[in-house]
Amino acid sequence: MLAMLVIMDAVGLVSTVWIAATARELPAEDRLADPPPARRRVIRIAVAAVTVLPMVVVFPGASKKGLKLKMDEIGPLLALARETLRAHVKRRDQERRTRLIQEWKIEGVYPYSEEPAEPAQAVEREMFDEVATRISRRLPGVTQSKKTTLRLLREIISRDPSGLYPVLDELFQLPQSEQEELKRILQRTSLSEVIKATGQVSDRLDFLAALKRLVFEPEISRTVKKRSELHKILERETWIFGDAYALMVSDQSLDAILVRHLQELGRESEDGKLNPVRREDGRTGIVDLLLGRVHRGSSGREHLIVELKAPRVKIGQAEVAQIKSYAEAVVSDPQFRDARVSWDFWVVSTEMAEIVRRDANAPNRPPGCIAEWEGGVRIWARTWSEIIDDCEERLHFYRERLNHDPATEHAVEYLRRVHGEVAPEAVVVVGG
């Protein structure tokens, strides 16, 4: 009975010591401050001491077996004490965070003016609040500088949370203890990865809205330059042709395609020299895009050659003959042969001639496939409407949950931010 009373007193003492030791100092501006590292060490020592002391007092000279039994009895009490302490610390941190954020709002430096309207925005706001309040003591004292710093912090978190740590370390030269705390926050997958993923989905939806303007709106599509504008934009947006594709070659000859193909497979010619790759008429073909991806769970690869046409050019027999000539050059050249690689060849534009559409809709092939050759070679005629529909179907699940419906201004802003140097002037001017 006496032991139980002493132990209960010890639990109360633990709480008292913890609360006293973690009491926040009030600086001159009457703002809550974090305890310094030295005090944190004192906290740990004090809590450990008052937890162990009752056992030393109550069980002096106890046998190892008896002490083990007593420890088993007080285990639940110690667990309760630890849970109480954790709840207390969490509550104090939340109070401090709420107070700081309210001060920033009054001062006019808090970078959010409205409450989160979507789950993704709430996740982003939670991370911002936690990181910003952790580094609050190191923010500039001048209001405008503080506002600029907090706005920069918001932009980094909304775009790439993983890039936040080096920026803050460079700006504030954080001490080791704060570096470790910041890394812990940024490594929490539930926040950092969710923000990054939702940002990527929103960007992709915005790009699809921009692409529709580029290829469908008459006043824009008729002026879009295929090689210097549309091609350059799509070099950075290879996901639109299928998930996991990576750019291998852009705007280079079939010879360059062969070199890159062999590099990917780890192969070289026996004499170190490669024979030139030529189309059937002897000409050198210039390929717009070569993309590649690995088959999941196997050593096989997929290579995709994409021939882009200006939006005003309809896919007809001449365009089909061109993409087939590239396929023939690859198939007939023994330097390309490898059982581990399958090849797809796409010709892409806004419209296609009726004779091509008949082949693309043949009942014995996948929609869009106009020819299948031995060795895993397929040739396709694709319209932008089909490609965009496929992308929107892949993103539908996320779009519904993010409640993100990109408007024209979102599409234009994305083009300016990501593709500003190559985006057609007609798009950004009309959009602005």
Q: Are 214 and 427 in contact (CB under 8 A)?
A: yes
Of 331, 423, 312, the C-alpha closest to 373 is 331
DSSP one-letter code for 248? E
Of 353, 263, 248, the C-alpha closest to 305 is 248
pLDDT tens digits along 373-389: 988 899 999 999 999 99
For residue 45 the two structure tokens come to: 């020592």
More confident residue, 78 or 281: 281
CA–CA gap between residue 408 and residue 395 (Å, rounded)? 19
pLDDT at 37: 54
First to last CA, the chain: 79
pLDDT tens digits along 109-168: 998 888 876 666 777 888 888 888 877 877 888 888 888 888 878 877 777 666 666 666
Label the pairing between strands 246-253 and 341-349.
unpaired
pLDDT at 199: 73
When pLDDT is averaged across residues 67-79 and rounded to a whole number, the result is: 59
More confident residue, 354 or 3: 354
Beta sheet of 377-383, edge-to-edge order: 246-253, 286-294, 301-308, 341-349, 377-383, 369-373
Is residue 253 predicted with pLDDT exceeding 70?
yes
Residues 6+ apart with CB under 8 A from 124: 116, 157, 158, 195, 198
CA–CA gap between residue 179 and residue 398 (Å, rounded)? 34
235-271 core/surface letters (b: 16 or more CB in 10 A; e: else) = eebbbbbbeebeebbbebbbebbbbbbbebeeeeeee
Q: Are 165 and 183 in contact (CB under 8 A)?
A: yes
pLDDT at 262: 86
Q: Write out the H or E segment, with its range, that includes residue 380.
A: strand 377-383
CA–CA gap between residue 314 and residue 326 (Å, rounded)? 19
CB-count burial class (<10 Å; 0-12, 13-18, 19+) for 23: exposed
For residue 209 the two structure tokens come to: 């809205």
Per the DSSP assignment, residues forming a β-bridge with 378 are 344, 372
CA–CA gap between residue 269 and residue 117 (Å, rounded)? 59
For residue 315 the two structure tokens come to: 């896919």
Query: Ramachandran region of residue 106, left (φ > 0), alpha (ψ -120 to 50) or beta?
Result: alpha
What Cα–Cα distance (Å) separates residue 157 from each residue in 160, 171, 184, 197? 6, 16, 15, 12
When pLDDT is averaged across residues 191-213 and rounded to a whole number, the result is: 78
When pLDDT is averaged across residues 183-194 and rounded to a whole number, the result is: 57
| Rg of the chain in Å (alpha carbons) | 32
Q: Are 429 and 278 in contact (CB under 8 A)?
A: no
Q: Are 401 and 207 in contact (CB under 8 A)?
A: no
pLDDT at 32: 45
pTM exceeds 0.95, yes or no: no
CB-count burial class (<10 Å; 0-12, 13-18, 19+) for 83: exposed
When pLDDT is averaged across residues 393-411 and rounded to a whole number, the result is: 73
pLDDT tens digits along 5-44: 555 555 555 555 555 444 444 343 444 445 555 555 555 5
pLDDT at 203: 87
- Mean pLDDT across the chain, nearest whole number? 77
pLDDT at 344: 96
Question: Side chain identity at 39, as an amino acid letter?
Answer: R
pLDDT at 69: 46
pLDDT at 75: 65
Question: Side chain identity at 415, as an amino acid letter?
Answer: L
Residue spans of alpha helices (H) in 60-175: 64-107, 119-134, 143-159, 164-172
pLDDT tens digits along 229-249: 999 999 999 999 988 888 999
Measured from the Cβ of residue 179, the count of other Cβ atoms closer than 10 Å reads 15
For residue 338 the two structure tokens come to: 């490898």
More confident residue, 287 or 75: 287
When pLDDT is averaged across residues 73-95 and rounded to a whole number, the result is: 72
When pLDDT is averaged across residues 345-372 and rounded to a whole number, the result is: 95
Label the pairing between strands 377-383 and 341-349.
parallel
Task: Count how many residues are written for the chain.
Answer: 432
Cα-based angle 198, 199, 203 (whole degrees, multiple of 5): 115
Main-chain phi, psi angles of 134, to 5 degrees:
-65, -35
Residue bearing tokens 């599409």: 411
When pLDDT is averaged across residues 389-396 and rounded to a whole number, the result is: 87
When pLDDT is averaged across residues 357-386 and rounded to a whole number, the result is: 94
Strand residue runs (E) in 282-373: 286-294, 301-308, 341-349, 369-373
Of 362, 281, 353, the C-alpha closest to 322 is 281
